[in-house]
Amino acid sequence: MSKNLHVAIVGATGAVGVEMIKTLEKRNFPVGKLTLLASARSVGKTLPFRGSDIPITELKEDSFAGVDVALFSAGGGISKQYAPHAVQAGAVVVDNSSAYRMDPDVPLVVPEINAADIKKSRGIIANPNCTTAITLMALFPLHQEFRVKRIFASSYQAVSGTGAQAIEELRAQVHAVTAGQPVEKKVYPHQIAFNVLPHVDSFLETGYTKEEMKMQNEGRRIMHHPTFKASVTCVRVPVYRAHSVAVNAEFERPVSLKDAREVLSQAPGLELVDDPAKAEYPLPLYVAEQDDCQVGRLRLDCALDNGLAFWVAGDQLLKGAALNAVQIAELI
């Protein structure tokens, strides 16, 4: 990109919004002007960007005049309501919510996988679900080599995926349990401190949650693989900001560990961390605040023909959200 751009962030005060600002700065994105939008509640606050304090302004339908790129991360309802106004004002929207992910007119993009889809955009580009994006960073290179048929996966999702309030809820509950005080629940239906909740997003008639089906639904669009199947159990764990996923994957072609390792070690945005003898494998605590996802615990699956089991982890706020959105913006 040759000129400096006017960038707007919708939901600037949220956990992802704050990371978007940091990511724009860290990656030296050509920002000419930065507009930070949020609800009226946040007006009066400021957030730092390149040494200045940028004031929060209230999100309105006419907030997008002159904006080149609008990064949305304020929930599906806000995206549905305001993204069309941003597009009408001439902005390209990168939407981190689930609002447009299954819209056939909206590309759903992980830049390392399907950057070319961005060209099909009519103004909005969707950023995928965090658990899906992180899993596909390892699965897609293997798919290219061995052709994936289906996966079985279980997630270990950090509270950052729910937002800033959930991070605070975990902190407060840990304090209460440690002090022997009663635990308060506002964000989650059950205590998350010292517990795990097999409940992320709302439940469908089938018994799966919406979150669980995103792996298959979004995975098919991103990988251009309409018969891909994914049976997932999504679980919230008392970790602050990175997600992990245990995957059993079945492929069409015979797999070898040697080839799998080679493919994964060369994959963009991914680090192979796999030396069990030295207790080296991806850990959410260490991958937090890292741009690259990590994959490890690689083994031939003992219950599948042409199967691989592996463990992938990534920073939910970065590759799972803000980083991927800014990477898309860089390609526009």
Phi, psi of 137 (to 5 degrees): -55, -35
Maximal CA-CA distance, the chain:
59
Residue 202 CB, shortest distance to its own copies, in Å, is 9
Q: Does 176 bind its own copies (CB under 8 A)?
A: no
Q: Choose the catalytic residue: 6, 143, 234, 243.
A: 243
Total binding residues toward its own copies, as defined by CB under 8 A:
57
Residue 75 CB, shortest distance to its own copies, in Å, is 20
For β-strands 69-72 and 5-10, DSSP reports them as parallel
Question: In terms of CB distance, is 19 or 301 closer to its own copies?
Answer: 301
Q: Does 190 bind its own copies (CB under 8 A)?
A: yes
Active site residue 293: no
**Is 294 part of any known ligand binding site?**
no
CB within 8 A of 183, min separation 6: which ones? 173, 176, 177, 191, 193
Active site residue 130: yes
Q: Does 303 bind its own copies (CB under 8 A)?
A: yes
Find the binder of its own copies among 82, 140, 251, 281 (CB under 8 A). Answer: 281
Q: Does 237 bind its own copies (CB under 8 A)?
A: yes
Find the binder of its own copies among 34, 136, 151, 318 (CB under 8 A). Answer: 151
**Is 288 part of any known ligand binding site?**
no
Phi, psi of 307 (to 5 degrees): -120, 150
Distance of CA 49 to the CA centre of its chain: 22
Residue 250 near residue 151, CB atoms below 8 Å = yes
Residue 298 CB, shortest distance to its own copies, in Å, is 6
Q: Which stretch in 58-66, 94-102, 119-127, 197-205 sits in contact with its own copies by CB under 8 A?
A: 197-205
**Is 219 part of any known ligand binding site?**
no
Find the binder of its own copies among 4, 39, 178, 256 (CB under 8 A). Answer: 178
Q: Choose the catalytic residue: 6, 130, 143, 234.
A: 130
Per-residue burial over 67-105, b if 16 or more Cβ lie within 10 Å, else e, is bbbbbbbbbeebbeebbebbbebebbbbbbbbbbbeeee
**Is 97 part of any known ligand binding site?**
no
Query: What is the signed CA dihedral for 95, 151, 250, 101, rounded to 10 degrees?
Result: -20
For β-strands 148-156 and 229-233, DSSP reports them as parallel
Residue 71 CB, shortest distance to its own copies, in Å, is 28
- Separation of alpha carbons 78 and 321, rounded Å: 17
Compose the 109-148 pattern: x for residues touching its own copies by CB under 8 A, - for all others: ----------------------------------------
Rg of the Cα atoms in the chain: 20
Residue 156 CB, shortest distance to its own copies, in Å, is 5
Token pair 């089938």 in the structure block, residue: 206
- Separation of alpha carbons 327 and 143, rounded Å: 22
* Phi-psi map region of 171: left, alpha, beta (phi>0 left; psi -120 to 50 alpha): alpha
Q: Read off the amino acid at residue 60.
A: K
Q: Does 265 bind its own copies (CB under 8 A)?
A: no
- Separation of alpha carbons 221 and 106, rounded Å: 10
Q: Which residues bind its own copies (CB under 8 A)?
A: 150-152, 154, 156, 174-175, 178, 189-191, 194-199, 203, 206-208, 213, 216, 229-231, 233, 235, 237-240, 244, 246, 248, 257, 276-277, 279, 281-286, 296-304, 307, 309, 311
Residues identified as active-site: 130, 243
